[in-house]
Copies of this chain bind each other. A is one copy, B any other.
Amino acid sequence: MSDIIRALGELGNRVDARMLELLAVGASKSFQEVVFHQVKAGGKRIRPALTVLFCEAAGGQEKDALTAAAAIELVHNYSLILDDIIDDADLRRNVPTTWKKFGLSFGILASTHYREAIEEAILQSPDPLTISRLIADGIRELIEGERLDVLFEQIPKNVEYVDRHRYREITRSDYETMIGGKTASLIRTACEVGVVCAHGSEALRKAAREFGWKAGIAFQMADDVLDLFAAEEELGKKVGKDIYEHKLGNAVILQALERLPAPDRKSLLEALHASQPTEKQVTKAIAVLRDSGAADQVKKNTEQLVNEARQALSRFPNQKACKLLEGLVTFISQRTF
């Protein structure tokens, strides 16, 4: 596992340098301070690692994929800047979010600039037309996931349109559409773009998509567990975040609602529907969730997905890169970061 972490760190540095170069295009010195902020806050750079590893797995080299990998990670960071505005978030990775630090206007301008840095990267990649299509589709799915995430929130927003379209109940299929869009689609795109950078076959692109989709769902489920149970200092997020934010769209919560006895179910829903849940309510909700055994079931489902993802790797010519991909998918599904 330490191999994976070291490899991620080294590749991350190269991707970061490329992202800053791309963001600097057309940005004045003082605007660079704004647009660099999100990237400089750091991150594990898992998505660009997938792009580079799939390029290598399909017979290409890192240099063929590095710019496209930067595009993918810029898409992720673009979505984070916007997500933080939409969620009214103050902090990410223990530093102020872009829009809190620079104001709403500059938060929006920064995000818009990210999209053009992504375009810049696409135009410099080995197959701009194919990659542009994949990334545009990926971003649209991200928007759809984010749209559902907003509509899954349980508190009225005093916006007629939003309240009219708000989901009162969320099925497991709704949940999968939401996290498919918010998380799995970009991970799937990251994998497929890697194969495109190596000019790989359609069969390999399909296998990469399959791997990415399953790994992406597994990744989000692991994140759902963390969002509820991980300690604050460990995660850089608030414990019980999804409860404070009234998000029914969490795999553990959905699993628990299916299996809890009626009184526990009721107290959990009360916390989720409270406009400002008290710390006590949240603590109680977390205890109920913990005792339900829902997290164990979610972890089991996650492992199953990881195994299925691994099976998609058998077709690739470079099995050394595939070993790293296997390690990476295990790492992200067991993540405690």
Instruction: Show the binding face of A for B, using Cβ within 8 Å.
Output: 25-28, 30-31, 33-34, 82, 85-86, 101-106, 108-109, 111-113, 115-116, 119-120, 122-123, 128-129, 132-133, 136-137, 139-141, 143-144, 146-147, 150, 157, 159, 161-162, 165
Q: Are B116 and A26 touching (Cβ within 8 A)?
A: no
Given contacts A26-B141, A101-B161, 13 further A-B contacts (CB under 8 A): A27-B140, A28-B144, A31-B144, A31-B147, A85-B108, A102-B161, A102-B162, A103-B162, A109-B147, A115-B115, A116-B139, A123-B136, A128-B129
Copies of this chain per assembly: 2
Are A106 and B161 in contact (CB-based, < 8 A)? yes
Q: Are B106 and A119 in contact (CB under 8 A)?
A: no
State the majority secondary structure of interface residues on A.
helix
25 contacts between A and B (CB under 8 A): A26-B140, A26-B141, A28-B144, A31-B144, A34-B161, A86-B104, A102-B159, A102-B161, A103-B159, A103-B161, A105-B157, A106-B150, A106-B162, A109-B143, A109-B147, A111-B112, A112-B139, A113-B143, A115-B115, A116-B139, A116-B143, A119-B136, A120-B136, A122-B132, A123-B132
- Closest residue of B by beta carbon distance from A150: B105
User: What residue of chain B has the Cβ atom nearest to residue A101's Cβ?
Assistant: B161
Closest to A142 in B: B112
